[in-house]
Structures are given as C-alpha cells and as structure tokens.
Structure 1
Amino acid sequence: MNFKGNIENTLQQLLTQEDTDGDKKITIEDKGSKAFKIILENGDFYTIKGTYHLSNFLQELALEKALGKTEASIPLSKIEEAPTARISRMIKDYFWNDLTRTLDAEGFRKSLGDDKAEDTTQRLYVPATDQEGISYYQGLQQQFPQLDVVVLPKEITPEYVKSINEKPGVLALALQDGKGVPFVVPGGRFNEMYGWDSYFEGIGLILDGRIDLAKAMVDNFCYQITHYGKILNANRSYYLTRTQPPFLSSFIREVYEADPSVGKEWLEHVLKVAIQEYETVWMQAPRHTENGLNRYYAQGIGIPPETEEGHFEEVLSAFKEQSDAEVYAEQSRSTKMHSETKKEFIRKYQSGEIKAPKLDTYFTHDRSLRESGHDTSWRLDNVCADLNVVDLNSLLYKYEIDFGYLIDTYFKGEFEECHGAYWFAKAQERAQRMHALMWNEERRQYFDYNFKSNKQTYFESASNYMPLWAGLVDATNAKKMLHPLLQELKEKGGIAGSSRKMNDQVPEGAVQRQWDYPNGWAPHQMMIWRGLKNYGFEEEMQGLIYRWLWMITKNAVDYNGTIPEKYDVAACTHKVYAEYGNVGTEFDYITTSGFGWMNASYQYGLSLLTSDLRNKLDLLIDPDLLF
C-alpha cells in the first residue's frame, strides 16, 4: 500500500508538526507528537508513528522532490523498512553515487564551487609527465574561465610545494577515453581522492557490486605513483610531499579476486606499479630505517597549510616564548626588548627570517603524523618521525605477502625477475624484526618502537592490533592479544582509537585528539574484525561487529539517517567533541552520501554478522545484554 499526495504540502505539514527545532530533520530531540496522519491511495487513513518512521517518510519525500516530482507515491514498506535493510539500501543505491567524482568536463561542472579554494580561481595542477592530461585540461579552459591549469615542474621539491601554498588546487588524476577515471571521496564536502579512505571504501564498493569504481580507484593510485612518485595523502597541491598508509596490494588483490574479468594484463600492470611504490617510496631513506623497519616521514617546509586557523596555537606560543627568551639572553640587555607579536613571529618563521630548528622538527613530526592517516593522535604527537610504527610495518608485511601470493598464484611463481619465494622471505624477515623490537610479552601486544631511544612506547592503541589483520602473528601470540584488545579498547560501541588509560594520561586542558579515546573509526573496526576472523576468533568478532553496527543503526534511527565520519564509542553518539568536527552530520531532510569508510564498515559488518544478530540489531537490542 502506498501514500500518494502532493510533496510540498505534505513536507510543510510534516515539518511544521514534527520538526520542532527547525533543523529540517526529524530526530529524538524534536518535541512533536511523533504521529502523522496520511491518506493512502485507496482512501484509507494511516498514522505514521515514531521518530524513525517519520524521518523515513521525510527522507522519501525529499528523494521524490529531488527527482523533480510534485506528486509522490511512497510505499509503506519504505516508510517502515527495517533499519539495517534501509541503511544498507541507502548506501548501495544512493551514497556511493553521491560520493563519486571525476576530474573532467562533466566533473568540473559539478565541483567548481570548491570550498577549499582560497579565491575564485579554481586551480588544477597537472604533472609535466602527463602530456595527455596537459592537452585535455588546457583544452577545457575556454569552457571554464575560472579554471587555471598549471603544469608542475618535473622535479617537485619541498621548496616548490611551499611556494604554491597560497595558490592551492586539485592535482590531476587519470584519464581514459577522454574522461576522468572516477573516484569516491570520503564525504559530501570533499572533491579529492584520499589515500587509505579509498581502500576501505573499496571494500564496501566490492560488496555492493561496484567493482568498476573500486578498480578505477586502483587505476588512479597507479597514476599517482607514476606521475607524482607516490600515493598522495590526497590529490591536493599541499599534499605533494606526503603519502598515506599503503594498502595498494590489498586493494589490487581484492579487486582482481572479486572480478578476474578485469584481466590478467591489468593485474600485471598494477602489480608492477605497486612493487615500484614499495621499492621507491618505502624501502628508501628516509622512510626505511637502519634497523630494517619503516617509519612515516613526510617532507615539507613550515606550517602545514591545510590545518584550521589556531590549530597550532599552543605550540607556536611556546616556541615564540622560547625564541624571545633566547634573543633576550643573547642581547644581554638590562631592559628586555619588546616582544614581537605572534603573527609577526609566524610570518618570519614561514619566510625563513627566523631559524627555529626545534620548530622545524616539530612540524616534521606533525606532517609525518598526517602521513600516517592518524591526524591527529597523542600517540604520534611530536615523535612520529622517530617511530617504527606497528601499523605501517604490518601494512608492508602485507605487501610482501600479497606480492608473493599474486606471483605464485597468477604468474607461475615469477614476476619481474623475482620469485614469489623472495617476497615471502622478506615478509618473514620483517615479522621477525617486528617481533624482536615491537612485541611485548608482558603486555601481550605490539607497540610502536622508538629507534632513537631504542624503547617501545607502551601507548595502547587500536593500531597495535593490525598485525592480526596482516596475519603476521603466530596462533599462540594471537590468542594472547585477545585479552588486552578487549580489556583496554572495547567500549559499548566498538573499539576506541586508544585506551581510557592513555586518555587519563593526557594533561588536563589538552586538546582532544580525534583519533584517540573515546572516538572510534571505521578502518580500525574493519581491520580488527578481519584480524579476528583470520585467527578463528568468531565469537569475539561477532560481538565487536554487533557493537559497532548497533551504535551506527541506533544513531541513524534516532537522528534522521545520519551516518557521520566518526563516533564517540563510549557514549555511543555521533556528537563528537574533537578537532575538525564530524563530517556528515549537516544536511537538510536526508543524507545522500553518509561518509565513505563508515558506509563501507556497515556493509562489511553486515556481510559478516550472523542472521540471528542482524535480527536483534533491527530490534536495537542493547549489546551489553547480549555480550
């Protein structure tokens, strides 16, 4: 049975009655009657009851209106759809399409209102090595007068990147047959392709039958390696000196095994590029250290330009005061000279007039932290470049295993003059080094290793368990890791980025870092689920999946379908109080995009959850009553 009626009139009546706070959503915070009477197409009256069903009705009206309709016909089955089915359907049918972008004529028509541009000019930087791209994009300038196409120099130095910080722009990606190769962005306000976001989005895309998009993102990654020398943090000009956590081998393997019809020739090409990335980005200094393990190390000069104003307020104030004191001591004057304003100090530091080696070191650590994808976390603050981190070395172990597997399985054991056995041996060597330097028997987990102090950090974080995802732990130690994982990081809504204990050690009044307790993130959940699955810990995996999906589902039910960037997993809410806000919470009537890897985590979690637990999830049974 369907509702049938005028869209605009119904929308206004519904909002007037139920949207009491005027935010164009119907949530548990509204004080309406929570009951709205409609007329069905057979003339019968029907009352829609409760926040969830009312918000579904609002969303369906908005979808019909977006199609240009004035009259809507909406089945009751959509208004009263089970929560897990509705969220999953919205992700598959709407969110992926809404998050898809292209860098071509069609894409520019949609995205030239880029809110990250500093002025009305929309810049597109194109590699000097991409003649096809240069020709294509320069040819678009007549169609788009505000588009400024800039050809990058062949050698891209930190000095050059700093010189264009005040002229930021998007970096070109791959073209095929005169069209931009598509990619999925993290959230609706983004127009660029992000590094590790893309891999996790790919997991969701493959599950939803969108292998075309997953493959396209692998192709764009290979373009970046070929023309920019690395997979970029994102294709923005100020990220040219920075890469991201390496997931390319996993991405390639999962795309090819999901659909071998993409072709052996494709596999050969992308595997060759992935090996190139491994050898030229990760196995060379400065990212490869003397002990044989790896670190994040992003180059650059000065303050990272993408940060929000005031982000480094405390750091810059401290360094300025220190600088003032040093100048005062050097001058040996009886009366202290007037201190520069902080704004002037920053200007002089940025221009090079003031030399501040300690501040340079701080920003090297800060950029490296951002390269890690964990921007930001107290785990890595002012120390990242000195650490062999568990997450990166787990990822590179996975590269080595994947290379060996793909070569043995699809190339008869030999590829580019290397045998699969060569890569398996490298993986084994890395696992042994990690065990020697990072494994802590007493605490039953891996820790980041400071190669300057030759000590483990003892920082309890979700990334300590990435060896389970990579499969580098023996069965005995994997079982040992269960207890600290569940005791230190498990919260009602899933796994926190760091433990409550680590949070208690943060100085009072310090900024809440978004990758730390109490916040939880989709990639951590997904990797830990797969890690538990690798070792047969089915019960523990099901419990963690249920907690995460329950939190997402309950927030979507209570808050008009909201699927945001991150959650507070202790309070089980999307109302997160941390730096950078929470992308995906601001919309009118309906979210049509959610957030990329959050969408993927939902689809992936549902694919692993038992049917019995999915039924309980639709009833929103509290996880503490089940586990």
Structure 2
Amino acid sequence: MAKPECTVAADLALSSDFYKGDRSMRESGYDISFRFGPYGAGTHHFAAVCLNSLLYKSERDLEQISSILGRKEDAEQWKKRAEERKANIQKYLWNSQRGLFVDYDFVQQAQSSYDYVTTFFPLWAGLATPEQAQALVEHLATFEQPGGLVMSPRESGGQWDFPYAWAPNQLIADEGLRKYGFNKEADRVSYKFLSTVAENFRRDGTIREKYNAVTRSSETQVTAGYHMNIVGFGWTNGAFLELLHDLPVDLVQKLAREQGSSASAAH
C-alpha cells in the first residue's frame, strides 16, 4: 500500500503561526477573547489600542523622569517617541465614523470591526482629544450593563468577551473618564461594578477575578478557554479600593446602606 502524502512544510507553517498568535494572545493578558480572531490566534497581526496606549504613557513617564534627572537628551528622545506614537494612534486606531478607538490589523491593513472596552485606554493615557472623549462617552451604551462595563458586545464564549466585566478595565475607564471631566458618567458606571462586587461578597464571602455584567453575578459559564472564576483575585481587590476612593461620599454611603440592608434582609 502506498504511503499517503502529506504537506509537512505547510503544516509546520500553520502550526508556527498559530503558536505565535496563541503566545501573543496570552502575553496580552486577554486570554481568551475573539477580538483578534477565533481564540485570539491572530493577536500578533494587530496593533492594539491598549498596548499602544500603555507604551505612550510609559514614554511620557520616562520623558518626565529623564527631565527630573537632568538628562535632557533622554527626555527629548522619549518625547519624540511619544509624539510619534500618538500620531500613529490617531492615524490608525481612531475611527471617526464609529466614534471609537479600535485595533488595527497591519497584515490586512484595516481597522478591526470588533468593538472592545480597551477603546477607553487613550483617555486614561491622556492622548485623546476632547472631541474624541465626547464621542466615546456617547458610545458608553455599547459596553454599559447593570454590573459595569462589559468587555465587548460580542458573545464568543471566551472570558474576555460578553457578558463579563473585569476590574482592571473598569478602573482604566473610570480614570480616563474623570481625566476628561466626565465624572457623572464615571460615577454611574463605577457604582454599578462596585455594587456588583460588594453584593457577591456579601453572598459568599469571596472576591472574584471577573463578574457577569448582565446578571451582576460571579457565576460564569465560559466555554472557550479557562472555565473557573478564581477566588481572591488581587486586581479586583485593588481596583475596588481605587474606584471606591474616587466615588463621591454620597454614593459611598449609598453603597454601604444598600449592602447593609441586603445583609439584614438575608438574616
């Protein structure tokens, strides 16, 4: 019997590209979302809004640190890098028709159509214009749910998509909105997430890594990737305290009253 032929080179090429995409997706922190294709396998083909915003902020911080240390040449270098990155973010990652910052597929040379909550990162980094900030606020409804901001309006089965809310992204959005003067919106969205975390803690005494923003529950049903909702997650604890600190006193008191009433009713 003749041995079947196989295209080894093609198989290896596909495997190599998938491996690069998978490793990139996990390094990005968003594991798993379908934002960069099925199971995030195309992550290494995108210029991400979040990563570039973080790099811009780092470059600005390094510029400031260099200036404080009297290292003028270094400061100028970091300033130049930050300005170049900001220009590219505005050119490639802003979509004026959708009123959102989006990821850019540099292989296909096209913007992503996948709306994602990382659109608020440029506000946090301070690189958005006032007009862009206003446009983003007008699109809050794309992400806002009873339990805070959902990662994406698309349900993929992955834990970093609909219907889940994650603490770090709530904090980034909150600080970004406040930086541009949208305190009312920040208060409203943050209160939703804080009350969700507090209510679930009252129920079972745990703080979780993520929450269902639609049902306001720590009960999750992930079908693609990690299935567990880890208990005692540090970034939820940290973000909760920061969000609570930013909340006006009257809303902090309201949160305390609501949780106190719920606890009394439970007994």
Match status 1:543 vs 2:188: yes
Which position in structure 1 is the counterpart of 2:49? Answer: 390
Structure 2 equivalent of residue 64 of structure 1: none
From 20, 31, 35, the counterpart of 1:364: 20
In structure 2, give the amino acid aligned to 1:616. K
Task: Please give the TM-score of this superposition, normalised by the length of structure 1.
Answer: 0.39
Separation in 1, partners of 2:52, 2:90 = 11
1:512-569: CA deviation from partner (whole Å, max 9, x where unpaired)? 101111011111011111111111111011111111110011111122x211111111
Whole-Å separation in 2 of the counterparts to 1:395 and 1:462: 15
Give the length in aligned residue pairs: 250
Give matches, 1:24-173, under 5 Å. none
Quote the Cα distance in structure 2 between the aligned partners of 1:596 and 1:547.
Answer: 20
Deviations 1:89-110 (A, max 9, x none): xxxxxxxxxxxxxxxxxxxxxx
Which residue does 2:166 correspond to in 1? Answer: 521
Aligned to 1:611: 249
What is the rounded CA distance, in whole Å, between the counterparts of 1:357 and 1:407 in structure 2?
Answer: 44
The 5 A counterparts of 1:472-491 are 472-484=127-139, 486-491=140-145
1:455-604 pair list within 5 angstroms: 455-484=110-139, 486-499=140-153, 502-503=154-155, 506=156, 512-559=157-204, 561-578=205-222, 579-584=226-231, 594-604=232-242
The Cα of 1:355 is off from its aligned counterpart by: 4.7
Distance in 1 (alpha carbons) for counterparts of 2:10 and 2:35: 29
Gaps of 5+ in 2: 260-267
Residue identity opposite 2:121 in structure 1: M
Q: Could you report, residue by residue, the CA deviation over 1:101-125 in whole angstroms, capped at 9, with x for unpaired residues?
A: xxxxxxxxxxxxxxxxxxxxxxxxx
Percent identical among aligned pairs is 32
Q: By how many angstroms is 1:438 displaced?
A: 1.2
What secondary structure sits across from 1:567 in the alignment?
strand
**Counterparts of 1:427-438 in structure 2 under 5 Å?**
427-438=82-93
Distance 1:365 1:404 in 2: 32
What's the CA shift string for 1:70-103, capped at 9, x where partnerless?
A: xxxxxxxxxxxxxxxxxxxxxxxxxxxxxxxxxx
The one-letter amino acid paired with 2:160 is W
SS at match of 2:16: helix
Aligned mates of 2:86, 2:9 — CA distance in 1: 46
CA distance in 2, matches of 1:498, 1:528: 14
- How many Å separate the matches in 2 of 1:383 and 1:620? 44
Q: Structure 1 pair 438/354, CA: closer, same or farther in 2 (3 Å)?
A: closer
Q: Aligned pair 1:375/2:13, yes or no?
A: no
- Partners in 2 of 1:361 and 1:464 — Cα distance? 27
- The normalised TM-score by structure 2 is 0.88
1:440 aligns with 95
Q: Alignment RMSD, CA only?
A: 1.9
Structure with higher Rg: it is: 1
Task: Tell me, in whole angstroms, the C-alpha distance in 1 between the residues paired with 2:143 and 2:164.
Answer: 11
SS of residue in 1 equivalent to 2:196 = helix
Q: Distance in 2 between matches of 1:421 and 1:483?
A: 36
Aligned partners of 2:16, 2:84: CA distance in 1, in Å? 34
Runs of 4+ off more than 2 Å: 352-356
Deviations 1:287-308 (A, max 9, x none): xxxxxxxxxxxxxxxxxxxxxx
Offset at residue 421 of structure 1 (A): 3.2
Cα distance in 1 between the residues matched to 2:130 and 2:220: 37
How far apart in 2 are the matches of 1:620 and 1:356? 58
1:422-469: CA deviation from partner (whole Å, max 9, x where unpaired): 322221111111111111000001111011111001111111221111
Q: Secondary structure at the match of 1:472?
A: coil
Q: After superposition, where does 1:245-264 map in structure 2 within 5 Å?
A: none
For 1:573, what is the secondary structure of its paired residue? coil
